[in-house]
Amino acid sequence: MEELIPIASKLQDVLGALGQNTHIDLPQIVVIGGQSSGKSSVLESVVGRSFLPRGTGIVTRRPLVLQLFNTSGADDKGSGNGD
């Protein structure tokens, strides 16, 4: 199954570039909430890394599409806080 993820991703990219429907049933999560309610923190918690910009006011005001890949066996030297 893991071999299909890069293939599905490439297929979505190619079909999207051609203006075609790219609907592939993959697991999805939606995070909804008011300004500064912790949506970005929830996503970073799911990923296990700090990767979104920080600041005051509206900082991440845009839709995000995250593609997560299982890299079990890879040497993970990060501490989960962006290191």
Q: State pLDDT tens for residues 35-69.
A: 888 888 898 898 888 888 888 877 877 777 777 77
- Higher-pLDDT residue of 36 and 27 is 36
Length of the chain equals 83
Kindly report the average pLDDT of the chain as a whole number. 76
- Higher-pLDDT residue of 24 and 17 is 17
Look up tokens 């075609």; give the residue.
20
Query: What letters, b where the CB count within 10 A reaches 16 and e where it falls short, cover 26-42?
Result: eeeeeeeeeeeeebbee
pLDDT score recorded for residue 74: 57
